[in-house]
Amino acid sequence: MDHKAYIAERLHVAGVETQEIYASLAVPPDTSLGDYALPCFKFAKVLHKSPALIAEELAQAFPTDGVVSSVSAVNGYLNFKMDRMHLFETFWAEFTAAEMESGYGSSDMGGGKTVCIDYSSVNIAKPFHIGHLSTTVLGGALYRIFNFLGYRAVGINHLGDYGTQFGKLISAYKRWGNREEVERGGIHAINDLYVRFNSEATEEMEAEAREYFRLIESGDREANELFNWFKSLTLSYVGKIYDRLHVTFDSYCGESFYIDKIPAVVEKLKEKGLLVESRGAQVVDLEKFGMAPFIVLRSDGASLYATRDLAAAFYRKETYGFDKCLYVVAYQQNLHFQQLFKVIELMGEPWAKDMVHVAYGMVSLEDGAMSTRKGKVVWLEDVLSRCVEKAKQILSEKNPDLGDKDGVAEKVGVGAVIFGALYNNKIKDTVFSYDKALNFDGETSVYVQYTCARAASVLEKLTDTPFWSGENVQPNEREFELVKALASFPDTVRAAAENYEPSMIARWCVDTAQIFNKFYIECRVVNAETEELRRFRKTLTETANRTLRRALGLLGIGVPEKM
């Protein structure tokens, strides 16, 4: 039920539309005064009265009932209090109905519209380093959130699988590599070869690498076999990381997939008269828009990263008929996407407006020891293992009798890394600290997980108590606060999708867990004063537990039954 609509329909202000009243109703910062407030200042002009008087008069005239229990006028504000029991009833009705379908918080707002999400997009034969963490978990969360809201999300891993570096790799492998070692070492062995090539490369080796790359392109069997082998080793390696992060994709079409689709796009650019020559290269001039030229073909006719993105955009539009196409890529590529979207717009494609660069900031490690070792990048798998290891230590200290320590530590440790990357507004640069991320009392996933485990252990003792079914219990402050927090979950999920900001859900988790813990401390559940109260509180505990789990699940974080 939309409470704001309920209030707005019953509030009559001469010369003011219901719509406007609806939009002006807000949740006051101090909810002891009311659940909703209407500032009357902007009506003063129309009504030729002071805001205080307007509020007084409106309060007098408002028909309170079983939904809105009281109205008061305070300093030009009109404050509404909702009937607590009614609020709970509507929440519980919505909750149970939604849980029978696709879950509380889900909706059909997407109406099946397609959203393509380009995320993770790792580079073949290169380490999966901490820089790929945000795109992977942000994209993964958006993918789940959009599906949850009735969209059809298409997860695309736009692999970096094209370029002269693969020629270098073949050259390095032929010089120093052998099959068993690479099979055994996987991506690490490949990466070592690549690093070695770059540090020892001579003119002659560079030329050889270019030649190998040309062989890949011209379809040479051996070169392609090697390349595909490196690619499959990389994919099986990243696949394990994706499993740990609970991230999935519908397509792994990488840059090389678009090579044969480039001529058609170049043709289109020519038709539109957009292609000009600049020092031998073919470019789209964007000077009018204050941007550097968009280079389509180099002077040797080769395509660039940007060209492949342009071909990919057209391919996605044709293949998926998307309503929105998101690129979850670091803000360092702001200019690239501005140029790309501008070129599509200049080509006269109306869907240029549906392209969104979901830019995010950097995550770095507080732990200097790991990140500053010269020439060493921080591999994400090391960060995950280390965090899981630390989680295991902490869990063993806190609860020596805990069963399935490894399983629990995996959820807590990996969850902490994911949550660390998702908790702040995405554009902010953040520093990841293991200790902060694993603080049981902090703004952390482990705090939320622990809250769920606590709720689960209460529920375990109440299996014989039925859920609330209409008994009249007037909720106290704590209970009421919890109902309101839980009832705000669907709006939070919607806002997270609209703003491409999973952090809104992460923050909701921490806020709601805090509210639940206050409730847990102050209100006896198992030993409640009356049977009615026990049922009511069990119901609150159950809905809190389920909704918090669902929220963490949307972020890609699992919750252990016991901690």
Q: Residue 123, interface with ligand ARG (CB under 6 A)?
A: yes
- Cα distance between residue 514 and residue 521, in whole Å: 11
Question: Which of left, alpha, beta for 186 (phi over 0: left; psi -120 to 50: alpha)?
Answer: left
Span of 67-75, 104-112, 115-123, 534-542 interacting with ligand ARG by CB under 6 A: 115-123
Nearest-approach distance from CB 132 to ligand ARG, in angstroms: 7
* C-beta closer to ligand ARG: residue 339 or 547: 339
In the region spanning residues 209 to 228, those forming contacts with ligand ARG, defined by CB under 6 A, are none
Nearest-approach distance from CB 121 to ligand ARG, in angstroms: 4
Nearest-approach distance from CB 135 to ligand ARG, in angstroms: 7
120: helix, strand or coil? coil
How far is C-alpha 338 from the chain's CA centre? Answer: 22
Q: Residue 317, interface with ligand ARG (CB under 6 A)?
A: no
Q: Residue 191, interface with ligand ARG (CB under 6 A)?
A: no
Buried b (16+ CB within 10 A) or exposed e, 147-186: bbbebbbbbbbbbbbbbebbbbbbbbbeeebeeeebeeee
* C-beta closer to ligand ARG: residue 136 or 449: 136
* C-beta closer to ligand ARG: residue 167 or 560: 167
Nearest-approach distance from CB 156 to ligand ARG, in angstroms: 8
Strands (E), 6-145: 36-39, 68-74, 77-82, 114-118
Nearest-approach distance from CB 306 to ligand ARG, in angstroms: 9
Q: Tokens 């196409």 sit at which residue?
A: 325
Buried b (16+ CB within 10 A) or exposed e, 236-267: ebbeebbebbbbebebbbbbbbbeeebeebbe
* C-beta closer to ligand ARG: residue 327 or 480: 327
Nearest-approach distance from CB 329 to ligand ARG, in angstroms: 5
Q: Residue 430, interface with ligand ARG (CB under 6 A)?
A: no
218: helix, strand or coil? coil
Lateral strand order in the sheet of 355-360:
152-156, 114-118, 324-330, 355-360
Can you tell me which of 106, 121, 307, 539 binds ligand ARG, judged by CB under 6 A?
121
Can you tell me which of 83, 161, 208, 309 binds ligand ARG, judged by CB under 6 A?
309
* C-beta closer to ligand ARG: residue 158 or 484: 158
In the region spanning residues 516 to 555, those forming contacts with ligand ARG, defined by CB under 6 A, are none
- Cα distance between residue 557 and residue 316, in whole Å: 29
**DSSP secondary structure, 334-351, as one string:** HHHHHHHHHHHHHTT-GG
Nearest-approach distance from CB 305 to ligand ARG, in angstroms: 7
Can you tell me which of 241, 329, 421, 493 binds ligand ARG, judged by CB under 6 A?
329
Q: Residue 447, interface with ligand ARG (CB under 6 A)?
A: no
Q: Binding-site residue total for ligand ARG (CB under 6 A)?
A: 8
* C-beta closer to ligand ARG: residue 190 or 552: 190
Q: Which amino acid is at 548?
A: L
Q: Residue 256, interface with ligand ARG (CB under 6 A)?
A: no
Count the neighbouring beta carbons within 10 Å of the beta carbon of residue 448: 27
The two structure tokens encoding residue 371: 């990140």
Q: Which amino acid is at 303?
A: S
Nearest-approach distance from CB 427 to ligand ARG, in angstroms: 17
Span of 74-82, 116-124, 188-196, 396-404 interacting with ligand ARG by CB under 6 A: 116-124
Span of 118-126, 240-248, 288-296, 470-478 interacting with ligand ARG by CB under 6 A: 118-126
* C-beta closer to ligand ARG: residue 317 or 392: 317
Instruction: Find, among 423, 490, 480, 412, the residue nearest to 452 by Cα.
Output: 412
The two structure tokens encoding residue 330: 């670091």
Can you tell me which of 143, 327, 341, 468 binds ligand ARG, judged by CB under 6 A?
327
* C-beta closer to ligand ARG: residue 253 or 513: 253
Nearest-approach distance from CB 342 to ligand ARG, in angstroms: 15
Q: Residue 158, interface with ligand ARG (CB under 6 A)?
A: yes
Q: Which neighbouring-strand residues pair with 360?
A: 330
Count the neighbouring beta carbons within 10 Å of the beta carbon of residue 273: 8
Nearest-approach distance from CB 275 to ligand ARG, in angstroms: 21
In the region spanning residues 25 to 84, those forming contacts with ligand ARG, defined by CB under 6 A, are none
- Cα distance between residue 544 and residue 481, in whole Å: 12
In the region spanning residues 83 to 102, those forming contacts with ligand ARG, defined by CB under 6 A, are none
Q: Residue 118, interface with ligand ARG (CB under 6 A)?
A: yes
Count the neighbouring beta carbons within 10 Å of the beta carbon of residue 494: 16
Nearest-approach distance from CB 118 to ligand ARG, in angstroms: 5
Estimate the crossing angle of helix 531-555 against helix 445-460, to 10 degrees: 140
Question: Phi, psi (5° rounding) for residue 443?
Answer: -90, 75
Nearest-approach distance from CB 286 to ligand ARG, in angstroms: 18
77-82 and 68-74 strand pairing: antiparallel
Strands (E), 248-311: 275-278, 281-284, 294-297
Nearest-approach distance from CB 337 to ligand ARG, in angstroms: 8
Span of 17-25, 117-125, 173-181, 527-535 interacting with ligand ARG by CB under 6 A: 117-125
- Cα distance between residue 99 and residue 468, in whole Å: 16
Nearest-approach distance from CB 162 to ligand ARG, in angstroms: 10
| Gap between the terminal Cα atoms of the chain | 36
Estimate the crossing angle of helix 503-522 against helix 445-460, to 10 degrees: 40
* C-beta closer to ligand ARG: residue 118 or 443: 118
Whole-Å CA distances, 380 to 128, 129, 245, 305, 544: 6, 5, 11, 24, 32
Can you tell me which of 155, 160, 420, 556 binds ligand ARG, judged by CB under 6 A?
160
* C-beta closer to ligand ARG: residue 139 or 490: 139
Question: Which of left, alpha, beta for 330 (phi over 0: left; psi -120 to 50: alpha)?
Answer: beta
Residues that bind ligand ARG (CB under 6 A): 118, 121, 123, 158, 160, 309, 327, 329
